[in-house]
Amino acid sequence: MAQMTSRRTMHKHYAQGVIGELQQLGYPADQAKDVFFRHYRDMKRTFGLEPNVTDFAKMIDEFERAMKRPYNPNDPNQIYVGHIREQARAKKRKALFARVRTVKIQALKVESLKRTVR
């Protein structure tokens, strides 16, 4: 009877193969591992483990290079999204201050209720 290989073992060998391919593409060992884990979850959800190890490593390399590429306003294939980052930070800050203000108001209400009970 043939012995079945666990799914975890198959995923582990696949990951090791992709990291090995990234090293062949020119990444040092530690950097290849970091790049792999940075993109693995999203790409696995999108493509599954369907592409072979070489194709998966090439896709990871393509995504990594696209992330590292500096913004060029003359390139029609690039879109500037820096303003969205600032809007998100401002919105997060505003929400944080709103929560703090709510907590302070609730604390004041509790204190006033304690005074009326006495």
- Give pLDDT tens digits for 53-79: 999 999 999 988 888 888 788 888 777
Ordered by start, the domain boundaries in the chain are 1-71, 83-118
Instruction: Give the separation between CA 48 and CA 45, rounded to whole angstroms.
Output: 6
Q: What does the pLDDT read at residue 118? A: 60
Query: In 57-92, which positions are buried (b, 16+ CB within 10 angstroms) versus exposed (e)?
Result: bbbbbeebeeeeeeeeeeeeeeeeeeeeeeeeeeee
d(CA 86, CA 95): 14
For residue 54, give the nearest of 20, 84, 83 by alpha carbon: 20
The pTM of the full predicted model, rounded to 2 decimals, is 0.60
How many angstroms separate the CA atoms of 54 and 39, rounded? 15
Chain length of the chain: 118
* Predicted local distance difference test score (pLDDT) of residue 14: 87
Structure letter (DSSP) for residue 69: S
CA dist 12 and 15 (Å) reads 5
Rg (CA), the chain: 25
Is residue 115 pLDDT above 80, yes or no? no
103: pLDDT strictly greater than 80:
no
User: Can you give the pLDDT at residue 35?
Assistant: 92
- Model confidence over 4-53: pLDDT tens digits? 678 788 788 888 999 999 999 999 999 999 999 988 888 888 887 788 89
Give the model's pLDDT for residue 48: 79
